[in-house]
A and B are shown apart, each in its own frame.
Chain A
């Protein structure tokens, strides 16, 4: 059996989405900016997609800017504001995705002030710190809405109120939360949000940035007048149509199915001795992404578990960066204060619409088995107390 539990990394494109998309590659292929019938057909489809995405977050269609994905949306929001405002300070959190983290680093090098705000042990933003750091020169606050590693969903409305009280602008990276958590841009007052198609069973290479009417941002590159002058380049009609279709298919029913599989997995894995759940509890879907499980198994290392599960056809990812390019432990797990001795034993399992309960049960069984096998190899069984390298 092959079980894909890495849906926070990317998802399988829904065949219905692919089918819909195909039409706009081979049949309706006109340039949406052309005046003839070929162009008009494409324009109609693009605008329908725009309206559909807008509806999902209670925005107006002219507030949706299609981009190449989450990373571009985050860059457009942050750099776009910096280019428009020329100077000032930005606030962000200690648990951001690299798309925000590294953009902040870049603008800092260009002379903007950047302050990272702390989070609590579940990953929730310290609102007092936000209040304290907000001053007249803060041009943007950018906070991740649904955390990609530990699933923490921030209180968009509370953050938005504080930010607006001090007259600043709020951007939220909603790449993981879009369609999984209800988002209402009118009720919450958020100014910009980033979204991506490939996290919700749409294709890679397309996303969107919601930009509230009246918020001025500069484009990151120059070309035609596309996307309200905020994002030049011939419109990716097929991508936009597919993105909208994928968003429509993320129904309440699907979300609750995903949650029940995730809940089962978490409950089962917490039965394993010396295991713990990172991030908020699983009960409230407005506090934790419904598809995210992030679990630490003490006395083993996550990358080893990943490879063992890979042999059983199960795909997970590690919280420990040991498996990726650097050996530094996850900045998110460090930020929530997880003990560095156990940080390395962390794996993330994220569900999607195409997982089944049968797969979940298989994964649970194999994860338990592999954790046990790795603990047999480990010198630590029940504590790190016998850790002694002096001898």
Chain B
């Protein structure tokens, strides 16, 4: 049976109804901000890192069902991962966990991964400047 191209999977709706790790981390070690309100989706991802492991993560998303659920599932996936492990995640990993998204919504999973990469980049930048300060 052909899947309705505009229907969300059960998994997507689960995360949309009860998003995990929603909110802001005030003293985050890395923040990734992506998207554009004009396009209708913006994602902010906050990570706490200890001994190279992501110990806490939170998100704030302005966007559609797919954007919110992509953010939520991503936070579940990366909690407990090392920075290197998290960095290797791709949109396909997110899509797999969500049991797929309609073609017009694929960019939401891309956005989540971009937010993660930016948060990691931000974390590294902060760490480097910290190191320099300590020298």
CB-contacts of B61-79 with A (<8 A): 61-65, 67-68
> Once the chains are docked, how many angstroms separate the CA of A84 from the CA of B8?
47
A45-53, A158-166, A380-388: which lies at the B interface? A380-388
Q: Determine whether the beta carbon of B37 is less than 8 Å from that of A311.
A: no
Given A303-B64, A322-B64, A388-B33 contact (CB < 8 Å): yes
Q: Which residues of A contact B24 (CB under 8 A)?
A: 379
> Once the chains are docked, how many angstroms separate the CA of A327 from the CA of B63?
12
Q: Determine whether the beta carbon of B19 is less than 8 Å from that of A389.
A: no
Q: Which residues of A contact B64 (CB under 8 A)?
A: 301, 303-304, 322-323
Q: Which residues of B contact A390 (CB under 8 A)?
A: 33
Given A320-B40, A377-B22, A389-B63 contact (CB < 8 Å): no
- The answer, among B31, B61, B122, for a CB contact under 8 Å with A377, is B61
> Once the chains are docked, how many angstroms separate the CA of A301 from the CA of B38?
11
Q: Determine whether the beta carbon of B68 is less than 8 Å from that of A304.
A: yes
Q: Chain B: how many interface residues by the 8 Å CB criterion? A: 32
- The answer, among B16, B37, B39, for a CB contact under 8 Å with A384, is B37
Q: Which residues of B contact A187 (CB under 8 A)?
A: none
Q: Determine whether the beta carbon of A379 is less than 8 Å from that of B62.
A: yes
> Once the chains are docked, how many angstroms separate the CA of A379 from the CA of B33?
10
Tell me if A136 is interfacial: C-beta within 8 Å of chain B. no
- The answer, among A327, A379, A380, A387, for a CB contact under 8 Å with B40, is A327
> Once the chains are docked, how many angstroms separate the CA of A388 from the CA of B37?
10
Tell me if A214 is interfacial: C-beta within 8 Å of chain B. no
Nearest-neighbour CB distance to chain B for A390, whole angstroms, equals: 8
Nearest-neighbour CB distance to chain A for B65, whole angstroms, equals: 5
What is the chain B residue whose CB lies nearest that of A326? B104
Tell me if A307 is interfacial: C-beta within 8 Å of chain B. yes
Nearest-neighbour CB distance to chain B for A373, whole angstroms, equals: 10
Tell me if A66 is interfacial: C-beta within 8 Å of chain B. no
> Once the chains are docked, how many angstroms separate the CA of A304 from the CA of B62?
9
> Once the chains are docked, how many angstroms separate the CA of A301 from the CA of B40?
7
Tell me if B34 is interfacial: C-beta within 8 Å of chain A. yes
Interface string of A358-391 (1 = CB under 8 A from B): 0000000000000000001111100010011111
What is the chain A residue whose CB lies nearest that of B107? A327
Give 8 closest A-B pairs by Cβ, nearest first: A379-B60, A344-B40, A341-B37, A303-B64, A378-B62, A340-B38, A379-B44, A389-B33
